[in-house]
């Protein structure tokens, strides 16, 4: 593989043109010179992969670099990936392949529509097939294939959180009846200690509102979208088929999901596999019900709250208002924004497989994206960092400790704040 060659400037020592002395660096511009030995074949190889064609469109304007969250803690972005490939780097063998979180901020500003959301999964699939996946990601893939969730948790324990919810939770296989709302709880909400707090809060809020809901319990499997974006399309397709078959066993009107990644999968991907649902993120389901919620609030929280837009609810699916409407409805919540918000929201680092690549990424970044985001949240003076993605509570709580901000900021799911104000 040809290596990049640094340019050696050509300078002539004694040049005078029309009486003007242009010796040394002043005559560089008059000489043609080879700056780099290019490797366009590296770009062509990537662009030949189905879905990755748009990498070849890059014209190096660098608009993407200013908004790429990874560049803020490292040296990254589509322009740099293109340039490195053009000058010798083979992306499929480079650590750069695993740093993109598919946050979509670059696509938002790119005049040429270079689409990393399609390029990255396509190139990562090559790495999956050649067996060069970082070990921690490989483990998440194997757990998903074996247990139906990337954590390697026992599927039979998926609904254990319901025991402490304080309200009855209908499990579809046991109830054998139609429900209005099938609530897809999600992996991290079902198993992670803090996720389970959000699950219990959701069950209580639904119950208080009189929502007729049920869950799949042990039958629920991970949606698979993050595994797809990390390069395991086959695994995603297997999970989509299994989840669609399970949904098909039951009667329901609306599919409500806890997480933006599942929302993205069920809304945008599952229809390609004949899974068509009236799907809503839980904030979208609850926001139109704020007039019903308000009489149920019993106390004022008296907190300054800042909200982190999940990439897959915001940029990917255009929903910025529903979580904010819910937060504003809670008595005693003062909503303050971080400088990067809504379309330009910063990424928590968990998307596109990033959830399972923190150890790997540590060697190529100065700090985790979640740490960077927590610093921004603390700088607003907020008491609470509100989230509505199951990946985020664990990421940000860890980041609060890692950045030495324990005691200054707490992390709460929006649904936990709604529930807290009802007590
Ligand atoms: S914004 Fe688009 S065209 Fe410009 S450098 Fe980035 S990827 Fe290339
Ligand atoms: S999708 Fe996000 S993380 Fe990936 S290159 Fe674009 S801006 Fe950077």
25 confidence band (pLDDT: 50, 70, 90): confident
Q: What is the pLDDT of residue 38?
A: 87
pLDDT digits (tens, 9 = 90+) for 179-194: 999 999 999 999 999 9
pLDDT digits (tens, 9 = 90+) for 187-216: 999 999 999 999 999 999 999 999 999 999
If you measure from the C-alpha of residue 354 to the centroid of ligand 2, how many angstroms do you get, rounded to a whole number? 12
C-beta 417 within 6 A of ligand 2: no
Q: Is the pLDDT of residue 157 over 60?
A: yes
Ligand index nearest the alpha carbon of residue 316: 2
> Tokens in use for 299?
């106390």
If you measure from the C-alpha of residue 103 to the centroid of ligand 2, how many angstroms do you get, rounded to a whole number? 5
The CA angle 189-249-167, to the nearest 5 degrees, is 40
The pTM for the full model equals 0.92
Q: What is the pLDDT of residue 4?
A: 45
Mutate to test the pocket of ligand 2, among 71, 98, 104 (most ligand atoms within 8 A of CB): 104
Q: What is the pLDDT of residue 11?
A: 85
* Residue 193: CB atoms within 10 Å: 10
CB half-sphere exposure, 22, CA atoms < 13 A? 13
Q: What is the pLDDT of residue 27?
A: 82
- Tell which residue, 136, 128, 56, has the closest CA to residue 92: 128
CA 197 to chain centre: 21
> Helices (DSSP H) in 113-192: which residue ranges?
116-130, 135-147, 172-175, 187-191
> Tokens in use for 325?
């409407």
pLDDT digits (tens, 9 = 90+) for 293-331: 999 999 999 999 999 999 999 999 999 999 999 999 999
Q: Is the pLDDT of residue 236 over 50?
A: yes
Mutate to test the pocket of ligand 2, among 46, 63, 98, 102 (most ligand atoms within 8 A of CB): 102
Share of the chain above pLDDT 70, in %: 96
Q: For residue 105, give the ligand 2 atom closest to its CA.
A: 7
C-beta 409 within 6 A of ligand 2: no
Ligand index nearest the alpha carbon of residue 58: 1
If you measure from the C-alpha of residue 236 to the centroid of ligand 1, how many angstroms do you get, rounded to a whole number? 29
CA distances 336 to 233, 236, 250, 307, 343, Å, are 39, 37, 42, 8, 16
Q: What is the pLDDT of residue 111?
A: 98
Mutate to test the pocket of ligand 1, among 46, 56, 61 (most ligand atoms within 8 A of CB): 61
pLDDT digits (tens, 9 = 90+) for 103-140: 999 999 999 999 999 999 999 999 999 999 999 999 99
36 confidence band (pLDDT: 50, 70, 90): low
Q: Whose CA is nearest to atom 4 of ligand 1?
A: 61
Q: What is the pLDDT of residue 416?
A: 98
Q: What gap in Å lies between CA 213 and CA 233, rounded to an integer?
A: 31
Cβ 385 vs Cβ 371: under 8 Å: no
Q: Whose CA is nearest to atom 5 of ligand 2?
A: 77
- Tell which residue, 380, 314, 367, 368, has the closest CA to residue 342: 314
Phi, psi at 384, each rounded to 5° = -130, 135
- Name residue, tokens 């010796």: 23
To the nearest whole number, what is the mean pLDDT of the chain? 95
Beta bridge partners of 224: none
- Tell which residue, 313, 317, 305, has the closest CA to residue 389: 313
| Residue ranges around ligand 1 (CB below 6 Å) | 58-64, 78-79, 109-112, 114
C-beta 85 within 6 A of ligand 2: no
26 confidence band (pLDDT: 50, 70, 90): confident
Ligand index nearest the alpha carbon of residue 63: 1
Q: What is the pLDDT of residue 132?
A: 98
Q: Compute the average pLDDT of residues 138-145.
A: 98
Instruction: Identify the weakest region by mean pLDDT among 28-32, 100-104, 136-140, 176-180.
Output: 28-32
Q: Is the pLDDT of residue 1 over 90?
A: no
> Tokens in use for 55?
């990498």
Q: Whose CA is nearest to atom 8 of ligand 1?
A: 58
Share of the chain above pLDDT 90, in %: 92
Q: For residue 102, give the ligand 2 atom closest to its CA.
A: 1
Q: What is the pLDDT of residue 2?
A: 42
Element (H, E) at 323: helix 321-329
Q: Compute the average pLDDT of residues 352-379.
A: 97
Cβ 212 vs Cβ 283: under 8 Å: no
Please enumerate in sequence order all residues whose Cβ is within 8 A of that of 63, keeping only pairs 6 or more positions apart, or say none. 109, 110, 111
Q: Is the pLDDT of residue 3 over 60?
A: no
CA distances 235 to 232, 250, 354, Å, are 5, 24, 17
Domains parsed from the chain with CATH numbers: 40-132 (1.10.1060.10), 136-287 (3.40.50.1860), 294-422 (3.40.50)
């Amino acid at each position: 593989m040809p290596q990049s060659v640094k340019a050696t400037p050509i300078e002539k020592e004694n040049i005078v043109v029309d009486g003007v002395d242009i010796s040394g660096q002043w005559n560089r511009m008059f000489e043609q010179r080879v700056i780099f030995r290019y490797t366009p074949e590296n770009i062509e190889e990537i662009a030949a992969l189905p879905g990755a064609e748009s990498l070849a469109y890059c014209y190096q304007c660098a608009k993407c670099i200013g908004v790429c969250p990874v560049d803020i803690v490292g040296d990254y972005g589509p322009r740099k990936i293109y340039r490195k490939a053009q000058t010798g780097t083979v992306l499929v063998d480079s650590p750069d392949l695993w740093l993109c979180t598919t946050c979509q901020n670059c696509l938002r500003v790119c005049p040429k529509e270079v689409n990393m959301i399609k390029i990255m999964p396509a190139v990562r699939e090559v790495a999956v097939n050649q067996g060069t996946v970082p070990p921690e990601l490989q483990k998440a893939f194997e757990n998903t294939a074996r247990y139906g969730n990337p954590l390697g948790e026992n599927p039979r324990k998926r609904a254990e959180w319901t025991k402490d919810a304080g309200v009855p939770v209908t499990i579809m296989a046991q109830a054998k009846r139609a429900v209005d709302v099938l609530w897809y709880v999600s992996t991290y909400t079902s198993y992670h200690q803090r996720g389970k707090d959000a699950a219990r809060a959701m069950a209580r809020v639904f119950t208080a509102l009189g929502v007729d809901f049920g869950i799949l319990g042990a039958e629920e499997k991970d949606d698979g979208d993050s595994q797809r974006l990390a390069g395991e399309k086959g695994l995603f397709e297997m999970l989509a088929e299994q989840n669609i078959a399970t949904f098909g066993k039951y009667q329901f009107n609306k599919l409500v999901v806890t997480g933006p990644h599942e929302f993205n999968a069920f809304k945008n991907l599952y229809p390609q596999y004949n899974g068509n649902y009236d799907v809503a993120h839980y904030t979208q389901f609850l926001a139109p019900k704020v007039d019903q919620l308000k009489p149920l609030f019993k106390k004022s929280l008296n907190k300054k709250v800042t909200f982190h837009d999940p990439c897959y609810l915001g940029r990917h699916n255009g929903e910025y208002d529903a979580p904010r409407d819910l937060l504003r409805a809670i008595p005693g919540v003062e909503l303050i924004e971080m400088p990067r918000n809504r379309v330009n929201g910063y990424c928590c680092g968990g998307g596109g497989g990033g959830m399972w690549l923190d150890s790997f990424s540590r060697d190529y970044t100065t700090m985790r994206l979640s740490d960077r985001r927590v610093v921004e949240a603390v700088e607003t003076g907020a008491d609470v960092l509100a989230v509505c993605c199951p990946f985020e509570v664990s990421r940000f709580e860890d980041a609060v400790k890692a950045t030495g901000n324990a005691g200054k900021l707490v992390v709460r799911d929006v649904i936990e704040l709604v529930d807290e104000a009802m007590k």
